[in-house]
Amino acid sequence: MPVLRVALDLPLHRLFDYVAAEASTADVGLRVRVPFGRGEKIGIIVEVAAGSDWPLEQLKVAGEILRDVPPLPADFLRLCEFASSYYQAAYGEVLLQALPAGLKRLDPPTRRNARPVKITESVPRPELTGEQAVAVEAIDPAAGFAAHLLHGVTGSGKTEVYLRLIERTLAAGQQVLLLVPEINLTPQLEGRVRARFPDTGVVSLHSELAEAARERNWRAAFAGEASIVLGTRLAIFTPLPRLGLIIIDEEHDSSFKQQDGMRYSARDVGVFRARQLGIPILLGSATPSLESWANAQGTRYNLLTLKERANPEASLPTVHVLDTRKMVLQEGVSAALVAGIRDRLARGEQSLVFLNRRGYAPVLACPACGWVSRCTRCAANMVLHLADRRLRCHHCGCEHRIPKSCPTCGNQDIHPFGRGTQRLEGWLRETFPEARILRVDRDSVKSRKQWEAILERIHGGEADILVGTQMLAKGHDFPKLTLVGVLGADSALFAADWRAPERLFAQLMQVAGRAGRAELKGEVLIQTQYPDHSLYAALVKHDYPGFAATLLKEREQAGFPPYAFQAMLRAEAPLMADAIAFLTTAASLPVVAEHGNILVFDPIPMKMARLANLERGQLLVESHSRPAMQAFLPAWREAVEGIKAPAKLRWHIEVDPYEF
């Protein structure tokens, strides 16, 4: 009897053998029902073998092999195998997270196989600018694997480059996978893609789709009926029979990094997938990640540049740095910014005030006894949300009513400290009573529908002043927007996380890029107490390459990525001492000494040392050689699995950690 080697959705680095009455190697990649424990599970057949390492009579008999979906192809299994070994994630977990939920159910809902939606109204394509044409010509979908980095300033028309390449790939009868950071923030892009290719099946794949829709889209992509797949990071694990091009828009965006469950970078998996299939991959950004930038300075990636805005009438905004140390501010806003907003109001143009902190104030405090609104479950303050009269922890989500008096000393005079978007909005309403003000953050925009409605209002000229967080920074064209004011950016300059400046620069570049997208000239006012900081100097000059060069030099001197390869072991437990003891044991395992070239740091509490009542510690390991790191990690992981730990302790390994 043939033996099925089955991958199951379990955090175990092994496969499970079952005997089957009938099976052939053609069944590899199919789903199968198998008995497990006292119940049943759905697994994926990854091998059909003649025998097993176990005595055959001890093996259980597999249940039904499911044939409603064709077998996952071999290249897809290899992709998941790679991700499993690179990220130290269980193969079964990687494989099964790639399937829509309905296909993992023992009692699947019956569904019809709807065809992807097609629109028939087509939109003419613009003439390419010279720079765009060069970029499009440089990428040959037929030339095999190549990784291209498209560095284009905001408004340079990167999307048009994508669309032309999609066009070519479709003409060759192939599929395109286009990844975007957050699909909710990019309805414009989806609309543009659908309008340009009205006769082509376009499906989207992201976590906010209803289960049935996601399964329908996944099936259409896998069946090859949809030629364009537009998705968020999870879409990188979609089996696509005719994949010919991968595009990752805003490749620097942190949302391509999954930070829980299976921790992976969709961008890096994308590069692996393109190499595996021998197809091109295009990474696009106005502010590439330093990893990609370094690769493009060398020979690994091909650098393509768009220096000019595509619209000949539009130019990059003028950026001014305002030294707030010499100014009297009102609710954190300078007189220059107030005057700028007044000008725009008079001219019927829009202004945007950027403050990347939602809520009314970051903390409520008692000046009499020093009480502050700490979250009892996390190492964080509770944020004051005045509109719904709540104190809310942005980390664990717990919330309380606002106390009428200080819980410690009874003082009635407790104050909000600092400022969030709600407070700023209130002050702007008082200052500009005639203006129509729209606040855009996670509290005011909770769904895609709300976001689309807000975008429509902004485009329809129904708002004079926008106040908001980074939600406003991403890829939107607001033709009437001519002024951007930036508040509260300084706090990220000296953050403990060494990636903070890179992120801040990208964010400010993006938000500044909203201004002057059309023929109206844009202006950006950045309020800061550090006007001479090199980050702001680079922004004034729109000089990403200069800024990146400075940061890369710092990284090289400090021995940080991309000049080193890192992995993080994290442990959480009710007591910090337990977490640290576990990490200390992990750091001194014999396997550590057996592997040369691996540097193990001391275990330390995480920056957010307490989250939802768990204490968290971390242990960083580093190597200057990726192969050395990749040889070390599986051996280390196995040894760590053998450590006796308290029952409530949980741990995981993150490869190429993103946040510190």
Q: Which residues sit at the interface with ligand ADP, rule CB under 6 A? A: 126-129, 132, 152, 154-160, 310-311, 475, 477
- Phi, psi (rounded to 5 degrees) for 131: -65, -40
152 touches, from Zn ion, ligand ADP, none (C-beta below 5 to 8 Å by class): ligand ADP
* Closest CB to ligand ADP among residues 155, 231: 155
543 touches, from ligand ADP, Zn ion, none (C-beta below 5 to 8 Å by class): none
Per rule CB under 5 A, count of chain residues that contact Zn ion:
14
Neighbours of 624 (CB within 10 A): 13
Q: How far is the CB of 132 from ligand ADP (least distance, A)?
A: 6
Q: Per rule CB under 5 A, is residue 379 in the interface with Zn ion?
A: no
Q: Per rule CB under 5 A, is residue 365 in the interface with Zn ion?
A: no
* Closest CB to ligand ADP among residues 188, 630: 188
Choose which of 36, 272, 371, 427 interacts with Zn ion (CB under 5 A). Answer: 371
Q: What is the C-alpha separation between 240 and 179, in angstroms, rounded?
A: 14
- Please identify, among the stretches 35-43, 95-103, 339-347, 371-379, the one whose residues bind Zn ion according to the rule CB under 5 A: 371-379
Joined together, the tokens standing for residue 414 give 């407790």
Q: Per rule CB under 5 A, is residue 409 in the interface with Zn ion?
A: yes
Q: How far is the CB of 465 from ligand ADP (least distance, A)?
A: 23
Handedness of CA 164, 167, 171, 175 (dihedral sign): positive
395 touches, from ligand ADP, Zn ion, none (C-beta below 5 to 8 Å by class): Zn ion
Q: How far is the CB of 261 from ligand ADP (least distance, A)?
A: 30
Q: How far is the CB of 158 from ligand ADP (least distance, A)?
A: 4
Burial class (CB in 10 A: 0-12, 13-18, 19+), 525: buried
**CA angle, 453 then 458 then 460, to 5°:** 90
Residues between 410 and 469 with contacts to Zn ion, criterion CB under 5 A: 411
Q: How far is the CB of 135 from ligand ADP (least distance, A)?
A: 11
243 touches, from ligand ADP, Zn ion, none (C-beta below 5 to 8 Å by class): none
The answer to whether the beta carbons of residues 96 and 34 sit under 8 Å apart is no
368 touches, from ligand ADP, Zn ion, none (C-beta below 5 to 8 Å by class): Zn ion
Element housing 219 (H / E): helix 211-222
Lateral strand order in the sheet of 399-401: 383-385, 390-392, 399-401
Q: Per rule CB under 5 A, is residue 406 in the interface with Zn ion?
A: yes
507 touches, from Zn ion, ligand ADP, none (C-beta below 5 to 8 Å by class): none
Q: How far is the CB of 405 from ligand ADP (least distance, A)?
A: 50
Q: What is the C-alpha separation between 514 and 474, in angstroms, rounded?
A: 8
Cα-trace Rg, the chain: 27
Q: What is the C-alpha separation between 282 and 249, in angstroms, rounded?
A: 8
Q: What is the C-alpha separation between 394 and 378, in angstroms, rounded?
A: 10
Residue type at position 259: Q
The answer to whether the beta carbons of residues 221 and 229 sit under 8 Å apart is yes
Q: Per rule CB under 5 A, is residue 394 in the interface with Zn ion?
A: no
Q: How far is the CB of 310 from ligand ADP (least distance, A)?
A: 3
The answer to whether the beta carbons of residues 48 and 25 sit under 8 Å apart is yes
Q: Per rule CB under 5 A, is residue 395 in the interface with Zn ion?
A: yes
Q: Per rule CB under 5 A, is residue 366 in the interface with Zn ion?
A: yes
Number of continuous H segments (helices) and E segments (strands) in the chain: 17, 29
174 touches, from ligand ADP, Zn ion, none (C-beta below 5 to 8 Å by class): none
Tallying the residues shown for the chain, one arrives at 660
φ/ψ region of 627 (left if φ > 0, alpha if ψ in -120 to 50, else beta) reads alpha
Q: How far is the CB of 394 from Zn ion (least distance, A)?
A: 8
* Closest CB to ligand ADP among residues 135, 466: 135
* Closest CB to Zn ion among residues 10, 612: 612
Burial 499-523 (b: 16+ CB within 10 A, else e): bbbbbbbbbbbbbbbbbbbbebebb
Joined together, the tokens standing for residue 199 give 């006769």
126 touches, from ligand ADP, Zn ion, none (C-beta below 5 to 8 Å by class): ligand ADP
**Contacting residues toward Zn ion, per CB under 5 A:** 366, 368-369, 371, 375, 377-378, 393, 395-396, 406, 408-409, 411
